Amino acid sequence: MIVAIIGVVLGLTAIGLFIWLKNDQKMSNDLHEAELHHTHQGMNAMMNDFNNYQVETDRKIAELEKQLEIKNKSQDKKMEKHLKELPFIIGKVVGQIEFAQDTINRK
């Protein structure tokens, strides 16, 4: 009889431990699932931030290229203007030098 009681107590203890372990495992699984969900949310947020950064950077690069092209065209126009004026300026300087030479030679 005592052996039967010990057997029943051990059986109930085993069943209780099994139920407790099952609940503990379910709680651990739920915690891991929540952590995994938060990790996915974080990764998606990082991916969105990176995509926005790439788009913003591409826009800035395009704008800078556009500004550079405008500036280059402006510089090209200035250079062409100076090249057209250069013969006149050289002639003017040479004329002044010749006039100065004539003045020096007369003295």
Q: What are the per-10-residue average pLDDT scores of the chain (107 residues)?
A: 90 94 96 97 96 96 96 93 87 79 68
Q: What is the pLDDT of residue 86?
A: 86
Q: What is the pLDDT of residue 98?
A: 75
Q: What is the pLDDT of residue 30?
A: 96
Q: Which residues of 30-44 are buried (b: 16+ CB within 10 A; e: fewer)?
A: eeeeeeeeeeeeeee
| The token pair that represents 85 in the structure block | 């004026």
Q: What is the pLDDT of residue 106?
A: 67
Q: What is the pLDDT of residue 107?
A: 60
| The token pair that represents 52 in the structure block | 């926005």
Single-letter amino acid code for the residue at 47: M
